Amino acid sequence: MAGQTGGNRVDPRRILLLGAVVALIYGIFSLRLFVLQILRGSDYVAAADENRITRVVLPASRGVVYDRNGVLLARNVPSFEITITPASLPDSPAEVQAIYARLSSLTGVPIVVPGSKPSAECAEGRGIQDLVEEWTGLAPYAAVKIKCNADPHTAMLIQEQAFTMPGVGVRVSPARDYPTGALTAHIIGYMGPIPAEQREFYESRGLRIGQDRIGYAGIERSLQEILAGAYGQKLVEEDAAGLELRLVAPPQEPVAGTNLRLTIDTRLQAAAQAALQSTIDSVRARKLEFLRSPIVSGVVIAMDPQTGEILAMVSLPTYDNEQFARLIPLDYYNSLLSDQSNPLINHAIQGEYPPGSVFKMATAIGALNEQVVTPEKELFDPGEIVIQNRYFPNDPGRAREFVCYDRNGHGLVDFLRGVAVSCDVYFYKLGGGYPGEVAGGTTGQLEGAGLGILRIKRYAQAIGYGRALGVELPAEASGLLPDPDWKRINLGENWATGDTYIATIGQGFVLATPLQVLESIATLANGGRVMKPTLLRQFLDGEGNVVREIEPQVLWDITQDVTSDPDHLKVDEQWVRLAQEGMRQVVSYGTAADYAQLDNVVTAGKTGTAEYCDNIAQSRNLCQPGAWPTHSWYVGYGPFDKPEIAVIAFVYDGGEGAVTSGPIVKQVLQAYFELKAIDAAAQR
Amino acid sequence: MFNPRRWRHFDFWLLGGVAVLVVFGIAMIRSAIAGNETLADLPQRQAQNALVGLGVVLVAAIVDYHFWRALTRPMYVGLLAVLIYLEISGATTFGAARWLDLGFTQVQPSELAKVLLILILADDISRNEERIRTWGGVLRSLALAAVPAFVIFRQPDLSTAILTMVLWAAIIFAAGIKTKHLASLAGGALLIVIVAFPFLEFYQKQRLVLFLAPDADPGARYNVDQALISIGSGGWFGQGYAHGSQVQLRFLKVRHTDFIFSALAEEFGWVGAFTVLLLLAFVVYRCLRAARMARDTFGALIGYGVATLIFYQAAFNIGMNLNLLPVAGLPLPFISYGGSSLWSALLGIGLVESVVIHHQELEF
């Protein structure tokens, strides 16, 4: 306190005290400023940056999917959303109410829903005003979605009138559309929201949780990465109200997803589905006489045996993926889930069934190659044979009978006739040996008789059984090729000769997917090459130029070297040709003669009637001894000399193979050759 | 009275410090409006307010402060009348009846009341300087201060009501209240606070609760959090005038009034904020210097009261910005936008100048 004291009576100490308090308080402030600005400054700078910088995702357009002829199977269509930007609404409450009223009458969304809880945008049961008021406080410059999936007509009306309704806008966002719907649902699949457990993965790829969708099934899922492309992003500076001001850094542009051309021929797919559907309908009608709700499902796959290209793949019942295009309707989804025939499952690759007599071709090729018998050797089929229990060879009570489907027997049967008439006893004896007729082979045998289960397994693997084949679809099943170790581990029992016998004819523990069964026959048809089954033909860019051709891939050639086999099996070509001839005779006079012959094309094939007793059959008390229900199989291919197409038909609980499935294959083959003629005519 | 020789004693340092703060405040308001069109003319209006305020300072300085002694009674009555009129008419803005419409402009009578109350209290006490050392004198001046404070509290304007009582306490302290009386009063005040809390307005309670338990309401914390982010991101030298992202992108709210200190701390950093603190302290120091020099107790109490007024308002406002004190609507003197608060602060400065100019009875 400089200067002289005046004439006042105020105590200078009390003046000094106030000065000291000022110094103290401002000193504290200076320190506090130092702590905030200097010591913790970087934290606050980061917080300020977080305030102002917003990451905006630049979505990439998803790849479009065509069939082999350019028919659209999956595309992107605009989905219209009606939005309101709260900050752009007029100031006058009366004008705002008028806008609400107009929008409400156009879209059907109520203005106010009393008592509704805050929720996501577009949620049902919220009013226009509810949503706007809720978002005004949060981000007035962000457009609030009032109605999602508005129909295009409404969207156009609102767009036209938008200038009279400030703040109202129409936003177009891409939605997925499946023009062929249920016909190709199992191939194309569908999409859905990003599940919680995969959040981080997709967030790291720039996808927006709750907004972007990913493939859930089919090609949409298995080729998600290729179809999705790469999302871009930009960092923008926004003010507190959410108004975009400027770019902070150069934007990272999105890269559009790759377009796909599949191997599927939609016309053949339709023919296959029609043939299978009518068969299933008639089988069901027959069963309805004695069953309340028969489960009948089925599969048809058509493949080019030379390339592995899948031309058609039908699994019935199917579902309508078009209904899943924008959101997954809960009622519909639940009804699919509760259906015992599992419409959401692609039975062609995810169903595992006993392959029945089609499997005999694995035994056949193995028995010839291992010289268990010569093809000319005739074995006797009396209609049934009896196998002694090896632990109690003298106890007739423990002996087991194995019957041929023809109880009268086929008499003396050589290899070709064995294949043609599908003689069970002939194959029992090849597979498991038979005293006096088929002695043991050489190595790797269990019983010292016949081909033996271990070698059956190796040859089955060689032609495509027992492992997923790698088709570009999710969750392909691997099937099951049993062996003694498997039985001991899973059932705790020793392997019996009887197990080998029934495995020989594709029964018992043997399971295979329809695709594997088709692959086994296609391999023999093309001369021994195991082709990787594929749905992809070409990758295309946005202009339709081919970016990449998908070349046919030979997994291995059984006449050269079965690379998957530990001992590098090699099958003599002559046995493959003999197997082909056997399959030709199946059609010319054998089991399929009356059902699958084509008028002008020589075809070959193999039937299968596989007994089964799964949980559905058991629950319906259908497993009567000696009269189990049967799946129906038939695989056919043609032309015999130079096969272009191999087709499998499988009907669950379909009865006899040739009778039920033969005609389906025949129709698909016919359709194929007709389409080929049409295409050839069009070319000319 | 208009003897030019009197200007010899005019405190140009005080006026200079105040002028720097006011001009800086106008510049800061210009930055803080951040492109908001409805606020666009505020810098110009504040400049006009400052010019009017300069006139107020000069007139108040040249008029001998003893002149006001004759008017303190009508002032007191008039003040009460206006405050009560406000409460009855209920010209409510933001839920508080604080504004009086004079036709050509709106003023906040409670702002003027702060300065007038300094005059009234200083006058009353200095008329009988011994009386304040007795309980009777203390209670007499308490009654004098408490009546307008209560009316202001009913507006409701808790922070100004508290400020009124703080001014009274400072003045009686300077006037020489006995320490034991002071201690008793402090105890009584604490008791009143405890008893009165249940009668506070909801928003007033909420502000206190928010300060004491910051996480109680995340939504209400927004302003305080943004203030801290603004200050913290200033660093040593700030982000530059009109370049603070918190201010310019409007994440900081009420940036031209209550939170203008955060705005200047972001744009001018620690150095700028510290300089403002120094200037404010300097202005307070010059007011206390006047109190020391005053030729009589009346003048000394005016100096002491104005020093307290400026210090307390600045400390409360800055403490709130730094999240050391609860959020209260007290402006930062000389810097925050607002005509009424600027004028009342400048009127105080003018009175102090008058005390300095007239500190000698005889001029040669």
The CATH number given to whatever domain includes residue A490 is 3.40.710.10
Distance CA A474, CA A223 (A): 9
Task: Share the mean pLDDT of chain A.
Answer: 87
Strand partners, A255: A230
A548 touches chain B (CB under 8 A): no
pLDDT cut 90: percent of chain A above it:
45
A677 touches chain B (CB under 8 A): no
Spell out which residues of chain A touch residue B249, defining contact as CB-CB under 8 Å. Answer: 51-52, 237-240, 245
Q: In which residue are the tokens 């296609």 written?
A: A522
A15 touches chain B (CB under 8 A): yes
Same domain for A271 and A318, yes or no, is yes
Spell out which residues of chain A touch residue B359, defining contact as CB-CB under 8 Å. Answer: 6
**Selected residue of B129, B177, B181, B251 to mutate for chain A interface (largest A Cβ count, 10 A):** B251
Instruction: Provide the domain limits for residue A578.
Output: 266-683
**Selected residue of A1, A4, A5, A8 to mutate for chain B interface (largest B Cβ count, 10 A):** A8
pLDDT tens string A364-423: 999 999 888 899 989 888 888 877 665 555 666 666 778 888 788 888 899 999 999 999
Same domain for A271 and A232, yes or no, is no
Mean pLDDT of A253-260: 90
Residue A29 falls within a domain, yes or no?
no
A8 touches chain B (CB under 8 A): yes
Distance CA B249, CA B242 (A): 10
Q: Where are the beta strands (DSSP E) in chain B?
A: 100-101, 106-107
When mean pLDDT is compared across A170-184, A321-335, B126-140, B294-308, the lowest value belongs to A321-335
Are B299 and B355 in contact by the 8 Å Cβ rule? The answer is: yes
Predicted local distance difference test score (pLDDT) of residue B217? 53
Distance CA A190, CA A219 (A): 8
Same domain for A186 and A99, yes or no, is no
Same domain for A216 and A90, yes or no, is no
Are A257 and A227 in contact by the 8 Å Cβ rule? The answer is: yes
| Ranges in chain B, pLDDT < 50 | 93-96, 219, 364
A47 touches chain B (CB under 8 A): yes
Residue A660 falls within a domain, yes or no?
yes
Distance CA A173, CA A322 (A): 17
Predicted local distance difference test score (pLDDT) of residue A442? 43
**Selected residue of B221, B276, B292 to mutate for chain A interface (largest A Cβ count, 10 A):** B292
Spell out which residues of chain A touch residue B315, defining contact as CB-CB under 8 Å. Answer: 25-26, 29
Residue among B246, B299, B308 whose CB faces A8 most closely = B299
Distance to chain B for A167, nearest Cα, Å: 20
Quick check: A621 pLDDT over 70?
yes
**Selected residue of B130, B132, B233, B267 to mutate for chain A interface (largest A Cβ count, 10 A):** B233
Top-confidence residue, A331 or A16 = A16
Domain boundary among A229, A262, A295: A262
Residue A45 falls within a domain, yes or no?
no
Distance to chain A for B7, nearest Cα, Å: 17
Residue A33 falls within a domain, yes or no?
no
Question: Strand, coil or helix: what is A58?
Answer: strand
Task: Give the CA count within 13 Å in the CB-facing half-sphere of A351.
Answer: 28
Residue among A5, A33, A49 whose CB faces B292 most closely = A5
Residue A141 falls within a domain, yes or no?
yes
CB contact under 8 A, A1 and B288: yes
Residue among B278, B289, B300 whose CB faces A10 most closely = B300
Spell out which residues of chain A touch residue B169, defining contact as CB-CB under 8 Å. Answer: none
Helix (H) or strand (E) holding A386: strand A384-387
In chain B, whose CA is at the least distance from the CA of A242?
Answer: B249
Residue A15 falls within a domain, yes or no?
no
Predicted local distance difference test score (pLDDT) of residue A522? 96
What band does A142 get if pLDDT is binned at 50, 70 and 90?
A: confident
Residue among A22, A32, A245 whose CB faces B324 most closely = A32
Predicted local distance difference test score (pLDDT) of residue A68? 93
**pTM score, whole prediction:** 0.71
CB contact under 8 A, B297 and A10: yes
Same domain for A477 and A541, yes or no, is yes
**Of A648, A614, A613, which is closest to residue A632 (Cα–Cα)?**
A648
Burial B315-350 (b: 16+ CB within 10 A, else e): bbbbbbbbbeebbbbbbbbbbbbbbbbbbbbbbbbb
Same domain for A626 and A671, yes or no, is yes
When mean pLDDT is compared across A212-216, A534-538, A600-604, the lowest value belongs to A212-216
Same domain for A337 and A459, yes or no, is yes
Distance CA B183, CA B166 (A): 15
In chain A, whose CA is at the least distance from the CA of B323?
Answer: A32
Locate A236 and state its tokens: 């923008």
Q: Any idea where the domains of chain B sit in the sequence?
A: 4-357
Distance to chain B for A236, nearest Cα, Å: 13
**Of A669, A659, A649, which is closest to residue A353 (Cα–Cα)?**
A649
pLDDT cut 70: percent of chain A above it:
95
DSSP letter for each residue of A74-125: EEEEEEEEEEE-GGGS-S-HHHHHHHHHHHHHHH---S--TTPPP--TT-TT
Domain boundary among A154, A175, A196: A175
What band does A470 get if pLDDT is binned at 50, 70 and 90?
A: very high
Same domain for A308 and A339, yes or no, is yes
Between CA A541 and CA A550, with CA A546 as vertex, the angle to 5 degrees is 115
What band does A2 get if pLDDT is binned at 50, 70 and 90?
A: very low
pLDDT tens string A20-60: 999 999 999 999 999 999 999 899 999 888 888 888 888 88
Same domain for A154 and A246, yes or no, is no
CB contact under 8 A, A238 and B284: no
Predicted local distance difference test score (pLDDT) of residue A616? 81
Residue A4 falls within a domain, yes or no?
no
**Number of domains composing chain A:** 3
CB contact under 8 A, B295 and A26: no
Domain boundary among A157, A175, A193: A175
Same domain for A396 and A464, yes or no, is yes
Residue A25 falls within a domain, yes or no?
no
Quick check: A288 pLDDT over 60?
yes
Q: How many CB pairs under 8 A join A and B?
A: 159
Same domain for A642 and A546, yes or no, is yes
A77 touches chain B (CB under 8 A): no
Predicted local distance difference test score (pLDDT) of residue B310? 95
Residue among A2, A6, A44 whose CB faces B300 most closely = A6
Predicted local distance difference test score (pLDDT) of residue B36? 76
Same domain for A246 and A271, yes or no, is no
Domain containing residue A228: CATH number:
3.90.1310.10
What band does A671 get if pLDDT is binned at 50, 70 and 90?
A: very high
